[in-house]
Structures are given as C-alpha cells and as structure tokens.
Structure 1
Amino acid sequence: MGVEDLIAGYRSETFSPVDVVTDALALIDEADGTLHAMEQVYADRALASAEESAGRWRAGAPLSEVDGIPVTLKENQQVEGIPTPWGSAATVPVPATENAPLVDKLIAAGMPLLGRTVMPELGMLSSGVSSLHPIARNAWNPAWSPGGSTSGGGAAAAAGYAPINFGSDIGGSVRLPASWNGAVGFKPTFGRIPVDPPYFGRHIGPLGRSVADLARAMTVCTGPDYRDPYSLPAVEVPWTQASFEPRGARIGLVLDVGDGADVDPEVAAAVSGAAKVFEAAGAIVEIIPPYLERGEIDLIDLFWRIGHWNDYQRLPEDRRGLMLPFIAEWCRGGAGIGGEDAVRSADEQLHMARTTLAATKGYNVILSPVSPGAAFPAEWPMPSNDVNDPMSHIGFCVVYNMSGQPAVSINCGFTSTGSPIGLQVAAQRYDDLTALGAAAFYEANRPAEAVRPWPRVWETMPA
C-alpha cells in the first residue's frame, strides 16, 4: 500500500500502524536473506513506535500526516548510541552521540524506523559492494547490482520494505539506485533537507514506489538545522499538491551531457519515448546540446579522491587493511596531488554548477537518462568495473548535485534483459514542485510497457 492508503486505513481503524510494521518486519525477514538490503533492523523499537502511533490515531491526534508510516534510513544517518560505519569495516565503530537531523525529524513526525539500509564502501561506489556487509542485490534480479550508494534503499523500495526509504546523494546516489530498481527517487533542491556531516553537493532524499509517497515524505523533513550551514530556511511548500501542466511548457531533452560513458541505445530510446509523452500533451521539447567538456567528471572524481585519501591516512594503520581493495586503490589516486591540481579539482564543482544552470536556463523541465546504461553484475563495484574509470556513469546526475537543482528518477521502460530504465525529471532550483509534478504527470501517462508488477524474486530462490 502507498502512504495515502495506509493513512486511510489508520483513520478508519481498518488496521493500525502495528499491523503495518509487523507486516514490514515479516517481509524483511523473508526477503533480506536474498537482497541483503538492511544494515540493521530495529524491530523492537519500530514496534514500540507503532504502538504509540496507534494510540495517537485512536485518539484522533496524530503527530503528522505520516504518523505511523514506516521508514528506512541509509546507513550514514547517525542514530544515537549506534556506530555509523559508512559501509566499511575500516571505520572505527564509535557510537553516535546524537541523531542526524533527519532522524530527529522523522521521530518527531511519529514515523517508526524499521532500520538502516546498507551502503557500499564509504558511499563512493554505485553498487552494493562493501567490506562490512554481504553484497546487496537487486530486487528484480539478484544477479544485478541495486546501484548505490543508497544500495539498500533502492532494493528496499522495489521490494516494498517501506513506502519511504531515505538515502543521500552527491553524484546520483538516490537517483541511480532508483533507476536500476525501477523505483522513484527524489533529490530535492540542495539544502531542503539538512544533512550532517554537510558537504557541498550532498543531498538527502527519499526513494519509494510512487511520486505521491515521496511528496508525503517531504512534508516532515525540511527546514534548517544548525549542523548544516547549507540548510535552507523553513518555508511553506504544498508538497502534496505538486502538479504540472504540460501544454506550452518548455522542456529540454539531454541525451548527451558531453562527458562520461556513451548512452546505451535502449536507454536513449526509452527516454526519447518519455519526452514524446510530454510533447503529445502540448509541451515544447527541445534538444539541449552537450554542455560539459571531456574530463570534467574526472576532475570531480579527483576532488573526491583527494578528500578520501586524507581520510584514509587518518585511519589507524591496523584498520587500513580492512578497507575494500577497490576503494583503497581509488583513495590512493588522491595521493601526492599538488596544490594547483587540487584547487582546480575543487573549482570544477562551481564551474560545473554554472555551466549546468546556463545550459538549462529557460526550461521548465529538463529530461534525461539517469544512467547511460542498465543494471550491471552485483559483484562489480562500479558499472565500469574499472578503478581508473569509476565515475563515467554519473554525468547526467552529478551536474544537478553541483547546481543544486531538484531531480526525480522515475521508471520509463525496461531493456531487453528486463533491467529498469530511469527517466530523470529535473527543474530549476527551488522549483521542487515542478520536478515532482512533472514526474507525477509522466507516472500517470507513461505507456503500459514502462510498468511491470513489483518483483518478489526471493520467493523463487532456493532455501
């Protein structure tokens, strides 16, 4: 059930938050031996929260519109008293002294926390590969990666663990797993949801099965927090009223961003077909030509490597060997970089932001692929499986991390092998409602071949 159905059931007392959380925990118990999406399950805590929520609904006094709606969190969201390992056996397991801002907001809204979902090593892989956990797998086919770095959240959304699954995104880490899992993922405008630790380009965003569910999630998680200097002021945003009128709207279509891997023809065809849905409804669709230069993504990658090389060196020597070898090698790519190149890689973030804003200026909506290719083997840390070419798949996503623009991933078809294909629906900064509204328009009008029943692969796996 979606969030609206659950809320209606709570109001009518057809069922209670306890029933819903009990079922969710049973599904996790049944499916996660195949998917390995969960880092930790907070069964007792979630049931206690559901009991309290049920009492509030009986009294007609819910804390929020999503009181009692179960939710999962990405492993990098701090929960007081529990270590935050970031998907790596190399991190020192120090219990968090406080909750992350998002966790506090969800608790205040009365949402039972089912647990935290896994992420790959340090969040710097687009897969579910980690030195700390079993490999996370795709709910459509366990031989495929769920993507990353919100790998567990993507698998959880497709499997139906919770209607709302929060992740984080610095280069596509919400949208990529949404794409490869056939789910919906939303990266709101930079700063909408406060994040700790903050970083220029890091966004928090929800994944789920429908645009409406993600819009509901946004009603309780925005606003400023002193721990995030980039967090935006509190404003009234009618999240659940997002809509889009395609007639006369200017829509840009990006099929080649100018850098990174070439787009698979099946992906390009599905995204072009999605653009025709908008055009048939009266939108004016124009091709946006490539606007990045070759090598810009590599500069962003170099900036990330330098930062993580510094972190690697701060690790105790006896823990460095615990790190996933692929990521240890990736970190070493940031060693010995001179000041001139280091500053150039840092400056690229602002340059990419300005270039993206200029290229998309004047368009109500910008459509593109989320990823240039389909889902890849679960054992590969990256779609390229090459530490020297790790980020060539993030070009369509990372531009909006740098520019801060809101963007949604929504399924627009399947490859011949059955891999979901994500359509990215972006809008101008602060115009989150247009991004959500346009995604909802497409969701309601996409062709039948872009929708399939949600998978339950674990039911066919040998015991």
Structure 2
Amino acid sequence: MTQDLTRASAAELSGLYAARKASPVEVLEAVLDKAARLNPVLNALPLIDADGARAQARASEARWAKGEPLSPLDGVPVSIKELIKVKGWPLTMASQLTDKTPQTEDATTVSRLREAGTVIFASNSSPEYGFKGVTDSPLNGITRNPWNTERTPGGSSGGAGAAVAAGIGPLSIGTDGGGSVRIPAACTGLVGLKATYGRIPAWPASMHGDLANTGPMTRTTRDAALMLNVLKGADVRDPLALPPTDVDFVAGLDRSLKGLKVGLVLKFGDFFLDPEVEAAVLKAADRFRALGCEVVPITSPTENGETGRVFVAHWFAALQRLLQLYPEARHGEFDPALYEQAKIGAKLDVKTIIDSQVRRREMAHAWNQVFAEYDLVLSPTMSTLPPQVGRNVPDGPDGRPNPYWTNTAIFNLTRHPAVSVPCGISSIGAPFGLQIAAAHSRDDLVLAAAEAFERQDPLAFPHL
C-alpha cells in the first residue's frame, strides 16, 4: 500500500483488515520501521519485542484471512507502560533497583488485550515508579515530545503519549494515579481516559491503591472506546472492580449532546493559568455551545492547594513503602526527587493521613453534588504548557513551581471518570488538553462528549 499505515487509527486498521486492504503483518512492520527511526530521538519505548510481535501479527493475519478475528482490535499494535506486568518481559518500574527477571504472567489489562488479538509489541517509558508528571528516569533517561523535542510529553505515561502521537502504534496503555494518562494526553494531543475507578480492573494492585487507574491512550475517541470495551469488567483478583456492564462504549459515541448542562471551571483555585490555555479552553466551551449544550461558568467546590495537600498525603504515604522494599545501601539509586518524597512519606503522622482520608471523602461528596446538577464539567487538563525536558514542574510567572497536576488529581481522589482531548496547538508547537468529567459510571457520557468535540475539529498529527 502507498498510504502511511502508521497514521491510521485502530478503527481504520480494523476496516482495512476486514476489506483485505492491509494486513496485521504489514502494519506491524511499518510501526517497527518507524520505531527504529524515531525511538532513538524520542526514547519512548525502552523495550521492543519485534520477534514476539511478529508471531502475534502472523497469527492475527491468519484469523482475519479466515474471517474469524477475535475482536475489532485484532492485529492492532499496542504498547504497554513499563509499570504493568507483561509475560516474558521484565517489570522494570523504570527503576534501577527492580529485579529484571522476565514475568511469568500478564496483568489483567494485558491478558484482555491478548484475548482481543492485539499485537503487544513494546513497553513504553515512565518515570521511576510513575511518581511524577514528566517522563525521565535514572534507568532510561529522558523521553521527548514528538511535537517539540525540547518539551516533555508529560507523565507519568509519557512514553505512551510520545509513541502514539508519533505514529509508533495507534494504541497504548498507561496508568493514572494523579493524571498520568490525561497529562501526557494533553501534552501530545491524544485522547486519554481515566475511567470511573474500578471500571477497568487493576491486578496486580498498585502501591497507590484506589488512586491508581489503568487506561487507554489513543489518537481518537473511537479507539479509546474500543479499548474500554475490551478492558472493562470485573476480575476476582481485584476486590474493588466494578460489576460487569453490558454497555457498548462504541455504540454510544454518536449520541446528541443537545440540552446537556455543562459546568466550566477555568481555575481550581489561585494558581497561574497560562493565557494560551485559558483562550483554548474558552474556545472549546464555545464548541460545546455549538453542539447544543448549555455551558455555565462555575466555581470548583475544591481548591487546588487543598487538593494538592490531600493528594500528597496519600501519594507520599504510599511511596514510603519503597524504603522498606529495598535495602538502605541502595537508596541512593532512586531518582533523587522520588527518594525525597518517600522520606517525607515516612515522616507523616497518623493524624495527617487520617485527616486526608476524611477530607478526600468530603471532596468526593462535594463533586457528587456538582454532578447532580451538571451533566459534564469542562476544565483545562493542565494549567500550563508542557515544561522543558529535565524539569519536574514548570514555573509560574512569579518563579514558583506550578503544580499543574492538581487539575487532574482531584478526579483520582473522587474517582470520577475524566478524559483529556486535544483542543488546539500552542505557540511552542505542542497541543493543549481539555478535561471532560462526569458523574460516577458515566464513562459513556465523557466518551460521547469527547467524540462530539473531536468531530468538530480533528487534530492533525505531525508527519514524522
């Protein structure tokens, strides 16, 4: 074929396979060629399993030839974040300290993708133990944004964002404990979904418990919905997984948004909001009005400073476990910022931790009240542009670090579904992200809203 198959969505590839206009083997080779050319620059994929992927692609090609694909995603290449178990690969956690022995079983997410026939071809990069919103690690170095290689692709699922935006596979799996799917989606122009907590079962469990989610990162909303159809459903190994649902998340994408009441939150408190981000989100709100929604500016019931304090108490308290898992003589091998956070976590007292848990429940109640009145809430995914590589957070205009992750972390604390969709390109040549959130279990609604928004002005990805 003369077309660039690496630019096709998963849904488009499925159609090409069915029509016998492309094959999974052909697509995989195109993806591997692009990885060979771009990964040395982007550093997004620390492991590429070309031989294993070729065997999977040949098996998929045979199924399509017989007219017996396992799912619409059969034969579509997908990369997996290096914090997730993949049979036969080391579980690195992006750390120099982990045992690199190949795993003997798949995480639930990976096994479901295998059952759907996807071609699992690579791991994608993360900061160490996924602890921050940019992607670099002592183990793998710096991952770069394909839109502007002097900028971060965000984190912690930055390798997923960089790879998919660059056309190195149309699908990736990331994890989201405070925005780690949605932040890199915003930085790289992807659709990144954090579903209602428990919609996608988590096994093995994260050290961050019910803050942590696994989710799809794709170039289109339809692909994210296709992935959610595969990943949803209970797993007896996850005691917090939601019951099975018969909702077809693809079938609901074409619903009308006319008449929906939508809240607009530009700022979650007194933190810097980049004027470019503000303008892009206001323009996005107008696009929702054009779709027939009533869009109303509202005040967030939670404030970013407090969200940060509550989130950090949960996050650092979990990170201190790393100090127990590894001998003190090796603690100097941690990313220095991770080590400092773990040490702070070890000093947290019981009152601080319990108070943060109480306040978390109050925050969830407050947002439930919002979603009782509004069908959707729009906000910036990030309040700033992607920081330069090598920086953990950007500075605001006053020179103080700007914790842009609190826009996303609030919905990890409250467990509401939220998706980031691209809403324009900034002056530095990198995308903006619009966050769309809804009530618990309304994953169908956030995806339908994302699809309707995307159809108005699809993002054109760079030719690389």
**Same topology, TM > 0.5:** yes
1:278 is aligned to: 288
* 1:379 lines up with 2:387 in the alignment: no
Query: Any stretches of 5+ residues in structure 1 without a counterpart?
Result: 457-463
**1:188 pairs with 195, 199, 206, which one?**
195
1:40-93: CA deviation from partner (whole Å, max 9, x where unpaired): 111111110010011111111111121111111111110124331211112343
* 1:159 lines up with 2:166 in the alignment: yes
Question: TM (normalized to structure 1)?
Answer: 0.93
Query: Any stretches of 5+ residues in structure 2 without a counterpart?
Result: 1-7
**1:139 pairs with 140, 143, 146, which one?**
146
**1:316 pairs with 327, 339, 363, which one?**
327
In 1, the alpha carbon distance for the partners of 2:409 and 2:402 equals 10
Cα deviation for residue 94 of structure 1 reads: 4.5
**1:103 pairs with 110, 120, 132, which one?**
110
In 1, the alpha carbon distance for the partners of 2:12 and 2:345 equals 49
In 2, the alpha carbon distance for the partners of 1:433 and 1:94 equals 39
Contact 2:307/2:409 (<8 A) preserved: no
CA spacing shift, 1:59–1:184, aligned 2, 3 Å: same
Contact 1:38/1:117 (<8 A) preserved: yes
Cα deviation for residue 258 of structure 1 reads: 2.5
What secondary structure, in the 3-state scheme, does the structure 2 residue paired with 1:423 have? strand
CA spacing shift, 1:50–1:390, aligned 2, 3 Å: farther
Cα deviation for residue 350 of structure 1 reads: 2.2
**2:434 pairs with 419, 423, 442, which one?**
423
Give 1:381-460 correspondences, 5 Å limit.
381-384=392-395, 392-446=403-457, 451-456=459-464
1:54 is aligned to: 61
What secondary structure, in the 3-state scheme, does the structure 2 residue paired with 1:217 have? helix
2:4 is aligned to: none
**1:113 pairs with 100, 111, 120, which one?**
120
1:313-342: CA deviation from partner (whole Å, max 9, x where unpaired): 331223211111121112222232221112
Root mean square deviation of aligned Cα:
1.8
In 1, the alpha carbon distance for the partners of 2:144 and 2:321 equals 31
In 1, the alpha carbon distance for the partners of 2:422 and 2:402 equals 22
**2:20 pairs with 1, 13, 16, which one?**
13
Question: TM (normalized to structure 2)?
Answer: 0.93
Contact 1:298/1:391 (<8 A) preserved: no
1:437-461: CA deviation from partner (whole Å, max 9, x where unpaired): 1111111113xxx8444252xxxxx
Name whichever of 179-188 and 334-343 sits farther off. 334-343
In 2, the alpha carbon distance for the partners of 1:306 and 1:217 equals 32
Contact 1:126/1:383 (<8 A) preserved: no
**1:232 pairs with 242, 259, 270, which one?**
242
Cα deviation for residue 413 of structure 1 reads: 1.3
Contact 2:174/2:217 (<8 A) preserved: yes
In 2, the alpha carbon distance for the partners of 1:243 and 1:12 equals 24
1:461 is aligned to: none
In 1, the alpha carbon distance for the partners of 2:438 and 2:319 equals 31
* 1:68 lines up with 2:50 in the alignment: no
1:459 is aligned to: none
In 1, the alpha carbon distance for the partners of 2:395 and 2:255 equals 36
**2:360 pairs with 344, 349, 354, which one?**
349
What secondary structure, in the 3-state scheme, does the structure 2 residue paired with 1:167 have? strand
Cα deviation for residue 428 of structure 1 reads: 1.6
CA spacing shift, 1:405–1:299, aligned 2, 3 Å: closer
2:297 is aligned to: 287
* 1:243 lines up with 2:250 in the alignment: no
1:256 is aligned to: 267
For 2:321, the aligned partner's letter is: N
2:5 is aligned to: none
**2:379 pairs with 335, 346, 368, which one?**
368
Aligned residue pairs, count: 449
In 2, the alpha carbon distance for the partners of 1:383 and 1:244 equals 38
In 2, the alpha carbon distance for the partners of 1:227 and 1:191 equals 12
Contact 1:252/1:360 (<8 A) preserved: no
Cα deviation for residue 391 of structure 1 reads: 7.8
**1:212 pairs with 205, 208, 222, which one?**
222
Cα deviation for residue 285 of structure 1 reads: 0.8
CA spacing shift, 1:391–1:231, aligned 2, 3 Å: farther
Contact 2:177/2:212 (<8 A) preserved: yes
Name whichever of 197-206 and 436-445 sits farther off. 197-206
In 1, the alpha carbon distance for the partners of 2:166 and 2:279 equals 27
In 1, the alpha carbon distance for the partners of 2:167 and 2:140 equals 21
Name whichever of 90-99 and 273-282 sits farther off. 90-99
Contact 1:349/1:402 (<8 A) preserved: yes
1:342-364: CA deviation from partner (whole Å, max 9, x where unpaired): 22233333232222222333211
For 1:17, the aligned partner's letter is: P
What secondary structure, in the 3-state scheme, does the structure 1 residue paired with 2:345 have? coil
In 2, the alpha carbon distance for the partners of 1:143 and 1:426 equals 30
